[in-house]
Amino acid sequence: MTDSAASEARPYRSTSGIEIKPVYGPGDPDGFDASTQLGEPGGYPYTRGIHPTGYRGRPWTMRQYAGFGSAEETNRRFRYLLDRGQTGLSVAFDLPTQIGYDSDDPMAAGEVGRVGVPIDSTDDMETLLDGIDLGQVSTSMTINATASILLALYETVARRRGSDPRRLRGTVQNDILKEYIARGTYIFPPGPSMRLVTDTFAYCRAELPKWNTISISGYHMREAGATAVQEVAFTVANAIAYCEAALAAGLVFDEFAPRLSFFFAAHGNLLEEVAKFRAARRVWAQVARERFDAREPRSMAMRFHVQTGGSTLTAQQPDVNVVRTTLQALAAVLGGTQSLHTNALDEALGLPTPATARLALRTQQVLKSESGVADTVDPLAGSYYVESLTGEIFERAIAEIAAIDARGGTIAALAAGYQPDAIGDAAYDVQRAIEAGDRIIVGLNAFSDEGDEQRPAPQPIDPELEARQVQRIAEVRARRDASAAAGAVQALEFAASGTENVVPRIRACVEAGVTLGEIAHALRRVWGEHRP
């Protein structure tokens, strides 16, 4: 058989296993009804976007993710990016902060400031946000197990500066379920963790009405190996679990649902990714209306942030990562994202430098200002291929959600290992395809230039920063009112052992100078820790 004949015999498939035909026409997708499956931009089922005017009315937020070393260094990076046109903050926290340890805890040794910024107290948060108008900027915080604590620190700093909490805009990721599925930075067992999520919903409804209380994340599942279909299905299934927990806690769907947001990855199959974003909106709109009886349009309109795929970057020929990131960012924009982070070319090697972070931001600015893709809403609508992919991803995602329902819902399926096993299988299939040469990664398993490339030096981390951070936290404890701090912790433990909303007690601890680690340990004493 000739190479061309073999190519014709081998079916082409998307990353989700959808068979791709050689050409598409008016009959694709089969049974397609534009009036019910597309609608108009800004209207149900939101396939074409959640705003009638798209980016004409409001451009996407350019929100570059940053955090490393210390609060001072990260603040400098934030201001550098804001001065160059970034329109929103996105904070990366170090591992101890993510899992509830102060920088002086023995468990934090060697990890302080390494993969994000260490935040132990209001002093650190003040420094992180120095010179930034919190009443004007929107801030996203990628934090889950300790999300309520970081939110309390942020709010406390804003209050001290005179900002009206009711005008604060931003997002806490606050998505603990995907930590059990794919990422691992959990602290407490699922029950108390879900309580923290719904307590945050209720608190923000009363105190921070413009704050997005959760960013339900498919990104980390996709990075762990999930297919595009699994990313949509598992993300919406997690959203269903959060909504059911909130309803059980006495909240009203149309009161909390408009503050839900979502977070997806953009990987390299350009048109499948565009279709994925369009299908995800349709899936959520149907779930919100049919399962939760939504009446408020904003409850059915899926708002999401996109980050380009970190796992797609290569240490080999890192300059090629600029091309990958540009394609992925284009997919996000063509798919109608509300905000976007573009990875830097050197992130397979280490933390991005100012120059590579600037280039990543410029990628977004070129797309916005020079490409023309933001001039019309849903530019690829009507493409036979894109509409066929959109419909196929929608149907497969709905079927996957039904399979999770049949296993008792997200938490029961997770306890049985369903989602982690499915993601692991998908990741294994991809790795086998790469090793066999069936999936080409430029510079890795094809078109390599070994010994003929210059790799950029990653952002250095000051080796003395950990000692300085430890000293800083000692000074915080030395000058606070020890009696008031102890009383606040005791009140938090009492609330955690009952049914009271714990978030106001967390905020009282923060205001009394209690550190993040001390708050997390107080909750550990009551709730324990999750052991897989």
Please report whether residue 217 resides in a domain. Answer: yes
Which residues are registered as beta bridge partners of 171? 140, 212
Domain hosting residue 486, numbered range: 467-527
d(CA 123, CA 515): 10
User: Which tens digits make up the pLDDT trace of 451-501?
Assistant: 656 777 877 888 889 999 999 999 999 999 999 999 999 999 999 999 999
Residues 430 and 495 in one domain: no
Q: Which residues contact 494 (CB under 8 A, 6 or more apart)?
A: 500
Burial 452-486 (b: 16+ CB within 10 A, else e): eeeebebbebeeebbeebbebbeebbeeeeeeebe
Given a contact cutoff of 8 angstroms between Cβ atoms, the answer to whether 412 and 190 are in contact is no
Please report whether residue 24 resides in a domain. Answer: no
Give residue 31's pLDDT: 65
Q: Which two tokens stand for residue 53?
A: 């005017």
Given a contact cutoff of 8 angstroms between Cβ atoms, the answer to whether 239 and 216 are in contact is yes
User: Which tens digits make up the pLDDT trace of 305-337?
Assistant: 999 999 999 999 999 999 999 999 999 999 999
Please report whether residue 17 resides in a domain. Answer: no
Residues 220 and 89 in one domain: yes
Give residue 281's pLDDT: 98
CATH number for 206 = 3.20.20.240
Residues 352 and 497 in one domain: no
What are the angstrom distances between the C-alpha of 237 and each of 234, 292, 457? Answer: 5, 13, 41
Which residues are registered as beta bridge partners of 263? 217, 305
d(CA 254, CA 161): 32
Please report whether residue 511 resides in a domain. Answer: yes
Lowest mean pLDDT segment, chosen from 46-55, 124-133, 206-215, 440-449? 440-449
Residues 361 and 494 in one domain: no
Give residue 9's pLDDT: 56
Which among 386, 413, 436 is the end of a domain?
436
Residues 395 and 476 in one domain: no
Which among 391, 420, 436 is the end of a domain?
436
Please report whether residue 532 resides in a domain. Answer: no
* pLDDT over threshold 90, residue 267: yes
In the predicted model, what is the mean pLDDT of the chain? Answer: 94
Number of domains in the chain: 2
Please report whether residue 97 resides in a domain. Answer: yes
Residues 258 and 390 in one domain: yes
Residues 119 and 219 in one domain: yes
DSSP result, 207-218: H-TTEE-EEEE-
pTM here is: 0.93
Q: What percent of the chain has pLDDT over 70?
A: 96
d(CA 478, CA 100): 21
Residues 474 and 420 in one domain: no
Please report whether residue 459 resides in a domain. Answer: no
Please report whether residue 197 resides in a domain. Answer: yes
Residues 432 and 518 in one domain: no
Burial of residue 304, with CB atoms counted within 10 A of its CB: 0-12 exposed, 13-18 middle, 19 or more buried: buried
Residues 219 and 264 in one domain: yes
Residues 302 and 235 in one domain: yes
